[in-house]
Structure 1
Amino acid sequence: MTLYNFDYVIERKGTDAVKWGGLTSIYGADDLLPMWVADMDFPAPPEVIEALEQRIRHGVFGYGMASFEFYQSIRNWVQKRYHWSIEDEWIIPSSGVVTALAFAIQALTEEGDEVLIQTPVYPPFNQMIENNNRVVVTNPLLLHNGKYEIDFDDFEKKLQSGVKLFILCSPHNPVGRVWTGDELEKMGKLCAKYDVKIISDEIHADIIFKPNKHRPIANIHPEFEQFVVTCIAPSKTFNIPGLQASVMIIPNPDIREKVQKAQSKVGFHGLNILGRVALAAAYNHGEQWLEDLLVYLQENRDFAMAFIEKDIPNLQVIAPEGTYLMWIDCRRLGLDEEELKKRLVEKGKLALEPGGKYGVEGTGFVRMNIGCPRALLEDGLNRLKTALL
């Protein structure tokens, strides 16, 4: 029996939410059901809300600093969930994982350097590389029998070609893979062989469906800690991305110093007070809420997959092993990306992420956010059926 209720639908319109308020600018209509942006439609854990309310009632919001509790909450969470012992000095705050990617790219590469990503992948990977005048190199994932795999021959060739940095998405957004220990070890050893550093975006690490298990790549082998920057956050896990609190875990002191220097160049000095409070409360008191959430999300996943298999058989769902994002193959419909989007918006009144945003390999796919009450999910699936049948 679960303690928390995820069925309650909360009105989010009029709250400056990108997901609900940005429909007209992105999709040209505001009467759509938004299942695109990767935040959930659940309130944060009550323990987090209570901690924020208590801090707000204090009433004074002067300059703040990270407390012992802040660092301890992160250390304890990483140890308990992933059996990785980390030290306080390894923890470097960042306002978000995308910001952390930018800092690490600036710190660990020079303009014109090549940076490797595995497409289809979260669009800011590509954007942060290009915005910082680096060169994007892709190692496209291979779709075999409904599951994405790594092309290790191509991966090694790209590392040999002079790549300086590899950005890993673990678990992978949008395809939902939770990389196995063997896959992570193979990637890590190849990066070590060719002296390629790794930024590992592990923002979805807590959203894992049984029997899969997340392992931080830095903790796969002792030597990996020396060339991996691990990015984590409570934002996806506890639905608090708007509070802008994340951290980088950087065991190597030279890399850590370079990243901190990149932060100092733009005047970044730490997280805001409420972000720190929410992070510590989530990691200290949110575990039961998360366990209940995982049960609910896995039921959402199974419900959506069964619905599509029965009612929209021309679509193929890539079963997510982690994340609350569902990657759906629409290529059998024979529609180009614009026609697919048009039918979703005009016929289905549904906002989904077009797969082409994630790289050319995503063309013909859509990404659906299933992190919502079951009633919204069922509504979205019926809209998908209306749009595409």
Structure 2
Amino acid sequence: MTQFLSLNETELKQQNAYWTAREISQQPESWCNTAAIIETHRAEINAFLAPILALKELQIVLTGAGTSAYVGEALAPHLTAKTDLNVRAVSTTDIVSNPHGFLQKRTPTLLISYARSGNSPESVAAVDIAEQVVEKCYHLVITCNENGELAKRAAAKKNSFSVLMPKETLDESFAMTSSFTSMLLSTLCIFTPDVNQLAQVATQTEQLLDTQLEEIKGFAQTDIERLVFLGAGSLLGYAKEAALKCLELTNGDLISYFETPLGFRHGPKTIINDKTAVLLMASSDFYSSLYDTDLFNELLNDQQCLAVKKLALNTELVELDDVWQGLYYIVYCQIFAFYKSMSLGLTPDNPCPTGEVNRVVKGVTIYPLTSR
């Protein structure tokens, strides 16, 4: 019988956990499928992007809401370091609520929108508002839903292009998992492709899924009440997403937090007590890793935490940039959140059955952009 995260299909369906387990487990394969899609459509993508990227003073804004916003936050430091592009991450929720704080009328702008469904109110509104505010505005939509509003709009406009993720990444579960990593990976494949790093992170993540499930499950079953994720640069975006996954899948029962290793000392460290675990996402950058090591050793010496763990990869074959090894880290954190949800007696596919939060956000009123 088919198993995902060491549980058989019948058990998973009985506990309303099937889709979450399956979508976490499928990610290494989905990453390869995503890379193949980008390669297949590379000529079209390049033809659309080339004249835009050649524009003087172009600004690239990576945007989305919630998990989709963290796609951009993980990518922006990497793209800034590896390209000559002017890249920033701004959530759709910020664009919609305060557009003139992030968009400039005379600054040519490529808005890269990330969306699992493409139907969230802010995702659609951010595109409309950008069109209204910016004189020269272009759109690259990266989405998992070919029938979503963003994809349909992009198909109808000359200044827009839509890239569809593999069908299996249109997650059925409440929490975004494979949709998050595939949209992130697609952008890497477009702007900074690296087949060696992709192969290495996919292989090591498969090994994680094959060999570390029991260890992660045991960790999740400990008496943790507060969980802190730390990461710098691109890894801060992953830390934010890891914290959100734990909040979502435990329906808020596990308090989760994120920070950079250096920033953690400046007040947030007060979250630590004997029910707190800290997960440090170790950087592969030598300079950044010095600060990781300092804080890690400090936390061990303090002996105040329930647990302090450093996530790291075996980089003997290929040294991975932080944005690539972050894919491995987030799968570890997704698995932890899944097992924690199960240990609390929750249903991971729908951890909030009373409906206060939903798979696609509801209840948002979008107001017309006016001067008053």
TM-score by length of 1: 0.38
RCO higher in structure (CA 8 A, sep ≥6) = 1
TM-score by length of 2: 0.39
